[in-house]
Structure 1
């Protein structure tokens, strides 16, 4: 099959139980975070929602946030946010502050939740070949959740994006490859290139070619923003360059079907920056020969396996880093799908 399977009704009793547990966890987490004063600003005025999606590949819960500015009939953007290992959807929301950002900036955000039955550590199962193909495995589930949200709310079809951290960052890259007709642009924080080669034995160009072939007739240049800490002990810092290399090759081929360096892995601009009182970083931009800034990369000095700018209420938060959530959203808005 080539597209997400149709929704099926989830078992009502199980669905109610899961949603109830999610709501309790969210309430407790927000209360605790409020006590310590370290959580992102509470997303006020909008509406939290939750649901379950089922297809032949499995069943996953999710929760999301609808901003107070939403009006049915008026399309607004949608962001799909994918958590990392040992996290869940609620924790990732607290870590990133994306619900609060959605309220301020006027977009819908949805957080799919990996099942402990699918992976006890709650990692997305990106190493499996079935999870790197359109219409199969977890990509079909994430695309299905996206389609479900689009059916319930008025979403701008040209402004649907995916981002994630760690295993979620790998899956967001996969979503850009397998569903370029849905996701206008993607983001990866401490993630990996398509068909992630952790031993780094295969060239990024080969991964880029494989990604282009997986896109098939839907191939188009997909803009990507990448964040990586230079002191990450889980993901090799050089992986950030591999993501850039893969997407440079994929986007180059997607422009005209030729390997002719319409986009390459040599940065066109390199700017050093620093968060006031925080970390220094290097921001590189990669443009096409037509002048479009297709790839941006932030290498953050001394940062480990963390979410830059993330809440200190999480083990994975690094408030001293650049604001990955805000920078990603700025990048996404500049790249609607053609």
Structure 2
């Protein structure tokens, strides 16, 4: 539950002005930065609850009409980033204008993490109704109250620490998020020493889902030369979701409807850029539940991200565009 903040109007006006000015200045100085089309609008706010306070900003496209449901994306930045920087890196606001969806960027507070990482290692941040998942879910709920949101098309994405948190959000709030995109993240509960199997992570994820359990489609991106997140982590995420989705599909029965062996492996190439391997995992009914992109030679960076950021890799596949294609194919049922 959110509560009002006495200085919220002033802070919101200030943040909205700073956000708009920052994006406008960078767009003017760096023509390569994706710019929003005329007619849409940025917004900003402060979410305050018993579990914490976070700023956020977002974008509403010019095609939005109150009363007509529109998809919503919750986008989570990585360490040493903020919400505005991640918007520029990923191009999500520009894509929202072109393809017709609302996007909101929660911002991690430096007071709770000086490096601006989401605090995913803390147990309180791995469960529904607690810590940062509760705050992010609260911001999502606020978007649903302020705009006409399509409840079947609410998605979450994140990179690095934000990718870990996007995974956590899909596990803890499967009734809210239809699908998730995880870039350079890790499996649920993130076993850095890899002492637990992906199946164990999947069983824990299924238990966390509780009565809300359902197969959640996910798309995963990982660079093969990432020195921060070992490339094998992408397989662990796929394994976690294969197990969780298999259990969720049949009320907790582990019958192999979804498994961690890819049903299709496709080689791809960005013209003039990186090669990659796309692995597709299907249920026995033929529906695609997991896609995994391993990007050859890519480091700890956002695939297809803007060159205006240290974390952008323009030579990689367009992760934002591929993510949105995947999301549109997977509304919540």
For 1:209 and 1:103, locate their aligned partners in 2 and report how far apart those are by CA, in whole Å: 38
- Choose from 145, 153, 178 the match for 1:159: 153
Aligned-pair distance for 1:55? 1.2
Aligned-pair distance for 1:52? 1.1
- Secondary structure of the 1:17 match is helix
- Choose from 24, 43, 47 the match for 1:30: 24
1:311 equivalent to 2:306? Answer: yes
Q: TM-score, normalised by structure 2?
A: 0.97
Aligned-pair distance for 1:31? 1.5
Counterpart in 1 of 2:233? 239
- Secondary structure of the 1:212 match is helix
- Secondary structure of the 2:59 match is strand
1:88-128 Cα distance to aligned partner (Å, 9 max, x none): 00000000000010001000000000000110000000000
- Contact 1:33 1:313 survives alignment (8 Å): no
Aligned length: 332
1:136-166 Cα distance to aligned partner (Å, 9 max, x none): 0000000000000000100000000000000
- Choose from 287, 293, 298 the match for 1:298: 293
Out of 45-54 and 140-149, give the one that drifted further. 45-54
- Contact 1:44 1:100 survives alignment (8 Å): no
Distance 1:89 1:237, change over 3 A: same
What residue ranges of structure 2 are gaps of 5+ in the alignment? none
- Choose from 205, 220, 226 the match for 1:226: 220
Aligned-pair distance for 1:216? 0.5
Aligned-pair distance for 1:26? 4.3
- Secondary structure of the 2:120 match is coil
Out of 296-305 and 41-50, give the one that drifted further. 41-50
1:45 equivalent to 2:39? Answer: yes
Out of 172-181 and 46-55, give the one that drifted further. 46-55
- Secondary structure of the 1:158 match is strand
For 2:19 and 2:286, locate their aligned partners in 1 and report how far apart those are by CA, in whole Å: 46
Counterpart in 2 of 1:133? 127
- Choose from 115, 130, 139 the match for 1:121: 115
Distance 1:83 1:15, change over 3 A: farther
- Contact 2:15 2:44 survives alignment (8 Å): no
- Contact 2:77 2:158 survives alignment (8 Å): yes
Aligned-pair distance for 1:251? 0.2
1:222-278 Cα distance to aligned partner (Å, 9 max, x none): 000000000000000100000000000000000002111110010011100001100
Aligned-pair distance for 1:15? 5.4
For 2:75 and 2:112, locate their aligned partners in 1 and report how far apart those are by CA, in whole Å: 18
- Contact 1:85 1:123 survives alignment (8 Å): yes
1:97 equivalent to 2:76? Answer: no
Aligned-pair distance for 1:325? 0.3
- Contact 1:186 1:224 survives alignment (8 Å): yes
- Secondary structure of the 2:276 match is strand
Q: CA RMSD in A?
A: 1.2
- Contact 1:22 1:90 survives alignment (8 Å): no
Counterpart in 1 of 2:263? 268
Distance 1:30 1:206, change over 3 A: same
Distance 1:71 1:21, change over 3 A: closer
- Contact 1:281 1:298 survives alignment (8 Å): yes
Q: TM-score, normalised by structure 1?
A: 0.96
